[in-house]
Structure 1
Amino acid sequence: MRTVPGRVRRLPSRPRHTDSALPATSLLQLIWLASPALPVGGFSYSEGLETAVERAGVATESIATQWLTDQLHLTLARAELAVLAKAVPAWRRGDLPHLQALNDWVLQTRETSEQRLQTEQMGRSLLEWLRNHPDSQPEQIVACAQWHATYPVVYALAASQTQASLRDCLLAYAFGWAENMMQAALKSVPLGQSSGQRILAQLADKIPAAVAHAMSLMDSERQAFSPMLAILSSQHETQYSRLFRS
């Protein structure tokens, strides 16, 4: 390429890297909370998927993807994520009565014993993890223990201790759920790792819309109505061969 004498040749400009508005410590905390390595036992639950494989024809990658996508929009967005959307700001402003009401709602709307045991067990485990967290306040821990706090409410407590936006808190929760469910699909369908990554990519693409919907719901608009999932969860209690606790 020829250059014109006396004219300086300029290189194409490159985009500058800018610091995220979210402090690194808060970002890392959200990643930690979303990690399958968090010791709360999420890996031991399939949330009805194991029975769906046996009785509802979830036998391929595409069907498993559609099943989990429906579950994301019909159950997670309308219930757990909607609770989280109210619980995070409630923890930040110290509104314990509202938090207890949210926790009671979760307990009262679990449609089977397995579903209730899951949210209680994961809530207890996350609460134990929080006891060793330097930012945790004893009165919050005591309140959770008294309520038999559920997983979404305790997760909201952990997320509220970061500087993350409400949307980011919900995105982290949903992605953690998606990764656990993808792993459950790998084991129960079964599927290979490449299939699992494709399922996770599909779920990740749908998560922002599910989060936006959850954030738009009022307390009176939350719902927990998934009869097929409740039936499968009940059947799972007596399933002949099981890998998961739900």
Structure 2
Amino acid sequence: MITGPTRTPMADLAARPVAGLLRTLWLASPALPVGGFSYSEGLEAAVDAGLVTDEPSAADWLVDQLHLGLARSDLAVVAQAIPAWQAHELARIADLNAWVLSTRETQEFRLQTEQMGRSLVEWARSLGPLGGGVLEQLQAAGLQPPTYPVAMACAAAASGAALTDSLSGFAFGWAENMVQAAIKSVPLGQSAGQRMLARLIAEIPLAVEHALSLGDHQRQAFTPMLAILSARHETQYSRLFRS
């Protein structure tokens, strides 16, 4: 009879950070079935308008979007929602979810966060007991509908990972999806995509630090050019990405 290794209390303690890291990698993976790969978040419209034409302009665009958009809004929401989920502060969760819904600047952005939030709930449902109670927490919150950053924060809160690691994973997942969008829409090669991803990785720690520093009255979703491009993308004649 073959048996597995015997675990000790010290081994369990040492395994917790590793388990948190693995779950963070899981949540950041493009294989997570939430549909992030199907959105360009205005990038495809920027290509159509001639604002993004090559690797340098695409990289500059995404770095700006990381710092001026994601870090100030969704990443800051995740930073505040994770401890709220861990403390079971459902009123706080509801307020953060309402903020996300009310600050989507276009119908396209609103539909994206709703669709990805619902898909994360279905992912948790499909896991059953393996989900670590994520589905039960989301259901208890009664969010109608759950937005993606708030739902993802619930999964991150259950992972046991450090807050900065969870935020870095969220930002990396966004970066990987956006680089793939650039590769397809500019278009660019895989090597260009890797160089762009390397540049974004170098910028993510600063974006995480910024997100952690923001209070309720400092969060913002104010990217006028991105909003205009997103609105144009909704009726763009030819497009690869969802609107």
- For normalisation by structure 1, the TM-score amounts to 0.89
Q: How does 1:1-246 map to 2 (within 5 A)?
A: 23-131=17-125, 132-134=127-129, 135-136=132-133, 139-246=136-243
Contact 1:100 1:147 in 2 (8 A): no
2:241 aligned partner, one-letter code: F
Q: Does the CA-based 8 Å contact 1:103-1:147 persist in structure 2?
A: no
Computing the radius of gyration over CA atoms, which structure comes out larger, 1 or 2?
1
Identity value in percent: 62
**Residue 5 of structure 2 aligns with which residue?**
none
Query: Greater shift after overlay, 159-168 or 181-190?
Result: 159-168
The Cα shift of 1:130 comes to 1.2
Structure 1 runs not aligned, ≥5 long: 1-18
Assess, with a 3 A threshold, how the Cα gap between structure 1 residues 59 and 137 changes in structure 2: closer, same or farther: closer
Aligned partners of 1:108 and 1:91: how far apart in 2? 21
- TM-score with structure 2 setting the length: 0.90
Q: Stretches of 4+ moved more than 4 A in 1? A: 19-22
List per-residue Cα deviations over 1:17-61 (Å, max 9, x = no partner).
Answer: xx9885322211110100001000001000000000011420110
Distance, in Å, in 1 between the alignment partners of 2:238 and 2:197 is: 26
Give the Cα separation in 2 of the matches to 1:138 and 1:68. 32
**CA distance, structure 2, for counterparts of residue 26 and residue 88 of structure 1:** 14
Structure 1 pair 65–100 and aligned structure 2 pair: CA distance change class (3 A):
same
Aligned equivalents of 2:134, 2:161: Cα separation in 1: 18
